[in-house]
Structure 1
Amino acid sequence: MCYYLPSKMSLFIYLVLLLFGFHAPIHSVTPYSSEGKVTTCHSQHNATLYKMSSRNADFAFNLYRKFTVETPDRNIFFSPVSISAALAMLSLGACSSTQTQILEALGFKLTDTPMAEIQQGFQHLICSLNSPKKELDLQMRNALFIGKQLKPLAKFLDDVKSLYETDVFSTDFSNVFVAQQQINSHVEKQTKGKVMGLIQDLKPNTIMVLVNYIHFKAQWANPFDPSKTEDGSSFLVDKNSTVLVPMMHQIEEYYHLIDTELNCTVLQMDYSENALALFVLPEEGQMERVEGVMSSKILKKWNHLLQKGWVNLFVPKFSISATYELRAILLKMGIQDAFADNANFPEIAEGNGVKLSNAAHKAVLDIVEKGTEDVAVPEVRFPDQPDITLVHPIIQFDRPFLLLILERNTKSILFLGKVMDPTKM
């Protein structure tokens, strides 16, 4: 039951949203329109999951548009599903307008969807994403570091464990060095050394840190032959500048379409199990228009229009990463009370003055022919390509494009980004 606790001290929840992802490459799968079957989480199925796929997608694109305003001419890359899940978990401890603002930013209204149904939907989402898969390494994890001086409520601890698969650690934030070392060591271990020194400026009055990350490693259904990669291909960053990038090349059957209304080309590249990537290539001068209308409805439209056919495909080989301080953006999305002195988080712990101080998000992804350095990929034999390719449409990602990576069963957007310059991390 929610009740108001007056704010007497500036105690902070320091929210870190850490995302980490990879790709690799092999096999063939059905298109995005195929119906996936959830096995492990079948008993938890509820109608909210289907509402969530649309609402989470719309939240993703709304957040994306905020990033374009902040960094209009730079690469954008983040994990919408990890941010959604972390905010939903935070709403468990909130009440009144603090809770309402968080949920409405995520696209939910308690008058339409009860809180219990929302939380059950996220529980099913996380369970589905974390279900073991033979050829897809996908894990979304949370870790909650709570100050020793805080007395967290048992119900909150039980809920974050059962609904969000969150590990909870008691932490002495009065010793900033030790607390940072504990958190950074946990993150380094969970990301297999890929993310080190995540937190450097922890404040002594911090009472809680939430770390969220995704580990994603998958194989392409149709791997690229490294010998066909051209090292010095041109990529048009804008009208006045060009960079040279390694360009992977392949002649293969892919689901693709040309959207004449939005003046863009859409190509679906499948992973070997339960995941796919959508590459969206706007015509020159049409990027802002495509960005402005992206929504769950547009994804559904493309899903119905995608047709399989032979393609002469060119995709840059690149790495992309981005780090964001989310406080200002979340404020603009309506999450204001959570950062204010009148923040209302009475369900988290006994005591007064709990508020959110900041939110950070980091994402990393590699697009390559076979996989990342730490992936053991079996030998792949590449059949000879036909010499005559004029009969196949050429799709060449040699100018800025959008990239979405989705999980099939939940239709969740794991990653969303824009590649303006593939030579910049």
Structure 2
Amino acid sequence: MHKIFTSCALAALLLAAAWADHSHHADHTDHSQDGEHKCHKLSAANADFSFALYKNLNSKTAAGKNIFYSPLGISTALSMLSTGAKGETHSQLFSTLGYSAHNQAEVNEAYEHLLHVLDHSQQEQQLVVGNAAAVRSGCNPLEQFLKDIKHYYSAEIFNVNFNNPADAAAEINRYIAAKTQDKIKDQVKDLSPDMAMVLINYVFFRGQWEKPFDKNMTTKADFHVDDTTTVQVDMMKRTGRYDFYEDIDNHTSVIMLPYKSNTSMMIVLPDEGKMSEVEGYINKDYLKHWHDSLFRSSVDLFMPKFSISSEAALDNTLRELGITNAFGNNADFSGITEEVKLKVSKVSHQAMLSVDETGTEAAAATTIEIMPMRMPEMMKLDRPFLVFILEHGTRSILFMGKINNPTAA
């Protein structure tokens, strides 16, 4: 049976040995939290960070190229790193992530809760968010750091011989591939023999549409990458009841495609010629406005099948967003180890997204809908569009990006 799946892995934060002076120490107090879910305390900050990442990555992406990444994965990895950061290094991480109103204990507890909720949202979908630390053989991280990343981030910890960089990279890549069902391969490259640790985060999602497409309705169609480039795609078609909103003031059409789970794909289609304008203003408030404005409507939906992948070195992006000390000789990761001065040498991210029709007879019952007697709306994804995969229970943006060219692998 064909699956619709979205899968992504973020790896890795590579911490190599560096000489540095460290004199600052952050004071973190532990506060108990009650009331709203702990993980919801970070959802607004994580959404702001998601869009800051998007705008920076978009400015570095060539015209016609796809963008796709996991904001949740990147935030989780940086939060895990922050458990071992001190002083200004810690302050910059928290400021960039939007966590300045919280202390490390609150952030740790929020991620503990978030990962627990995601781990228990497995009905009819696969959603795996995991963390790991590949530690240099003979290196002795502080017991408190290891305890914290195990307890709050469910991190697996294993030893690697970085003296043989090729073997070390192969071992880490096998680990990541196994966790992402071989969707993310060769993530780690060009390791240094001086490496102290690689922090790994991976996010894997596979879901089936609640309302699958009929393969017999899929036909060849044009997709207009830009004014001068048109490509042929396999265009799926489905007429059905969807949550839909046409935002005339902001030049967009929005549709929500639910998976058989607590997860949905939101697609934002800017009007022709309006993608740059939409990218200029988009933020979490617009996302909430569109979400709250959706109305159940009859829609003729045309959507291309596609399978894309995206790789990005995030070092410069994170520096430009305000995380500078972590990469310099003044980095303070004395909360990880006091044996050697550490700095972040590399942050790399790889993600992939594949979308097609689902199901045969197993999902057929879900295709029967009562349609009102009126002309349906039409949403034809035949030009670049924005995509968000949202997990509703934790209010998390699992993945987001821009599909400029569905045929570009």
Structure 2 residue aligned with 1:145: 134
Aligned position for 1:263: 251
- Is residue 248 from structure 1 mapped to residue 262 from structure 2 by the alignment? no
Residue 380 to residue 155, structure 1, CA distance change in 2 (3 Å): same
Measure the CA separation in 2 of the matches of 1:309 and 1:134.
26
Superposition deviation, residue 272 in structure 1: 0.9
State the 1:154 CA deviation. Answer: 0.7
Q: What is the CA distance between 1:142 and its match in structure 2?
A: 1.0
Deviation at 1:187, TM superposition (A): 1.7
Provide the secondary structure at the position in 2 that maps to 1:308: strand
Contact residue 11 and residue 207 of structure 1 kept, 8 A: no
User: Matched residues, percent identical?
Assistant: 36
Query: For residues 371 and 174 of structure 2, what CA distance do their matches in structure 1 show?
Result: 53
Matched, 1:70 2:87: no
Range with bigger deviation, 199-208 or 159-168: 199-208
Deviation of 1:199 after TM superposition, in Å, equals 2.2
Cα-to-partner distance string for 1:303-348 (whole Å, 9 max, x where unaligned): 2211001001101111121000000111100000000001000010
For the 8 Å contact 1:314–1:395, the answer to whether it is kept is yes
> Which of 150, 155, 180 is the matching residue for 2:144?
155
- Measured in 1, the distance between the counterparts of 2:130 and 2:226 equals 38
| Residue 122 of structure 1, aligned match among 104, 111, 115 | 111
What amino acid is aligned across from residue 71 of structure 1 in structure 2? T
* Aligned position for 1:107: 98
Shift of 1:49: 2.5
Once residues 145 and 315 of structure 2 are traced to their aligned partners in structure 1, the CA distance between those partners, rounded to angstroms, is 24
1:197 aligns with 2:186: yes
Q: How far off is 1:387 after superposition?
A: 12
Residue by residue over 1:87-146, the C-alpha shift from the partner in whole angstroms, topping out at 9 and shown as x without a partner, is 00000000111001111111111xx22221122112211211122522121010111001
Cα distance in 1 between the residues matched to 2:106 and 2:361: 41
Q: Return the alpha-carbon distance in structure 1 between the equivalents of residues 83 and 333 of structure 2.
A: 9
2:398 maps to 1:380: no
Match among 311, 315, 327 for residue 339 of structure 1: 327
CA 1:45/1:380 → structure 2, altered by over 3 Å: closer, same or farther?
farther
Q: Deviation per CA, 1:254-301, whole angstroms, max 9, x where unpaired?
A: 001011221100000001110001000001121112112222211221
Tell me which of 39, 60, 65 is aligned to 1:49.
39
**Match of residue 228 from structure 1:** 217
1:27 is matched with which residue? none
Matched AA of 2:376: H
Give the TM-score taking structure 1 as reference length: 0.85
Equivalence for 2:12: none
In the aligned structure 1, how far is the partner of 2:269 from the partner of 2:305?
Answer: 16
SS at match of 2:114: helix
Query: Size of the alignment, in residue pairs?
Result: 381
Are 1:405 and 2:401 matched, yes or no?
no
Shift of 1:171: 1.6
Equivalent position SS for 1:378: helix
Indicate conservation of the 8 Å contact 1:10/1:205, yes or no.
no
Partner of 1:19: none
Which letter maps to 2:43?
Answer: S
2:345 to 339, 357, 360: 357
Q: How does 1:173-212 map to 2 (within 5 A)?
A: 173-212=162-201
Is there any run of 5+ residues in structure 1 with no aligned partner, and where? 1-7, 13-42
Amino acid corresponding to residue 357 of structure 1 in structure 2: S
Question: How far did residue 219 of structure 1 move?
Answer: 0.9
Name the counterpart of 1:328: 316
Aligned counterparts of 2:368 and 2:17: Cα–Cα separation in 1: 69
C-alpha distance 400-132 of structure 1, shift in aligned 2 (>3 A): closer
User: 1:296–1:66: structure 2 CA closer, same or farther, 3 Å change rule?
Assistant: same
From the superposition, tell whether residues 412 and 45 of structure 1 become closer, same or farther in structure 2 (CA, over 3 Å). Answer: farther
2:245–2:254 CA contact under 8 A, matched in 1:
yes
Task: Quote the Cα distance in structure 2 between the aligned partners of 1:124 and 1:387.
Answer: 40
Report the counterpart of residue 70 of structure 2 in structure 1: 79
CA distance in 1, matches of 2:386, 2:257: 13
Deviations 1:133-165 (A, max 9, x none): 221210101110011231111110010001001
- Indicate which of 310, 329, 336 corresponds to 1:348: 336
What's 2:25 paired with? none
3-state SS of 1:99 partner: helix
2:276 is matched with which residue?
288
Paired residues of 1:101 and 1:334 also in contact (CA < 8 A): yes
Equivalent position SS for 2:188: coil
* Structure 2 unaligned regions, length at least 5: 1-15, 21-32
User: Which deviates the most, 322-331 or 149-158?
Assistant: 149-158
User: What amino acid is aligned across from residue 196 of structure 2 in structure 1?
Assistant: I
Contact 2:17 2:194 in 1 (8 A): no
- Match for residue 166 of structure 1? 155
1:347-396 alpha-carbon deviations (Å, 9 max, x no partner):
1013132000000000011110117xxxx983636868999998111110
Q: Distance in 1 between matches of 2:110 and 2:368?
A: 47
The residue that corresponds to 2:356 in the other structure is 368
Give the conservation status (yes or no) of the 8 Å contact 1:370–1:377.
no
Q: 1:118 to 1:386 in 2, by over 3 A?
A: closer
- In structure 2, relative to structure 1, the CA distance for the partners of 1:97 and 1:353 (3 Å cut) is same
Report SS of the residue matched to 2:174: helix
Structure 2 CA distance for aligned equivalents of residues 138 and 268 of structure 1: 19
Contact 1:11 1:205 survives alignment (8 Å): no
